[in-house]
Amino acid sequence: MNKTWLVTGTSSGLGRGLTERLLARGDTVVATARNAAALDDLAAQHGPRLIVLTLDVTQPEAIRAAVARAFAQAGRIDVVVSNAGYGLFGATEEVTDAQIERQVATNLLGSIHLIRAVLPHLRAQGGGRIVQVSSEGGQIAYPNFSLYHATKWGIEGFVESVAQEVAPFGIDFLLVEPGPTGTGFADGLDHAAPLAAYENTPAGEVRRAIASGAFEIRGDAAKSVDAMIAMADSAAPPLRLALGSTAYESIRHALAGRLDTLERHKAVTLSADVDG
């Protein structure tokens, strides 16, 4: 049975790939992008099965208006994919106030406002599924991506809470956590002006690795899209889905380390309880 999807950030990367694959299999997609013209080729090819809306997710009122229009035009929407986002690259001291505000407004607040906007519509139709594109960076951290990680860790906590709130309405969530993937993510990074003080630090090492192309990218974009669709189609998806061997290895290592630290300091942790 064909489905109807609402997908944000569809002009490039996973959002574009997801839109192409869904249309190819016969589904209907409401696709949003800041530059709607980037989807002109798909609109010409797929006609009414592609509804294109211009949307800047840093504008809450625009999000609410676009969501209302999407449901009005498409009727029922089965899956909402919150995908719009980008990376801010630089040591925390290097990034500007304006860069920080734009990163948080896009990746974190944009996703929060989108989810808040679709919930009443999903409740009214008796349920639905929300796919939030996060990152392995929602559970681990690299130097030079502190603000990006703040948004991804933040949206994961938000989703984990909201998922419990709306489960009684037949609404569930899937957090997708890709590792480094061939999507052009690095080409879209917002770079901060480097400070010489960080040249010989882990931040400098990561900067050089990305600049030289030495930062290993194992993830395949098309396979990642296929995995996302397969899990979004499943009857009972997990709350979190890591994608790619890098994501698996890095998240597993981080979780094991946290659990080990928790257990090693158990006595001190428990000593904070009230007596008796």
Q: Could you say which of 152, 198, 224, 250 is catalytic?
A: 152
Task: Specify whether 148 is catalytic.
Answer: yes
Q: Could you say which of 3, 82, 142, 148 is catalytic?
A: 148
Q: Could you say which of 134, 146, 224, 250 is catalytic?
A: 134
Judge residue 37's burial from the number of C-beta atoms within 10 Å of its C-beta, 0-12 exposed, 13-18 middle, 19 or more buried.
exposed
State the amino acid at position 161 in one-letter form. Answer: S
Which stretches of the chain are DSSP H helices? 13-24, 40-46, 60-74, 97-103, 110-124, 146-166, 202-212, 221-233, 245-264, 266-270
96, 131, 171, 219, 261 from 114: Cα distances, Å = 26, 11, 15, 27, 36
Task: Specify whether 223 is catalytic.
Answer: no
Q: Contact, 77 vs 128, CB < 8 A?
A: yes
- The residues carrying an active-site annotation are 134, 148, 152
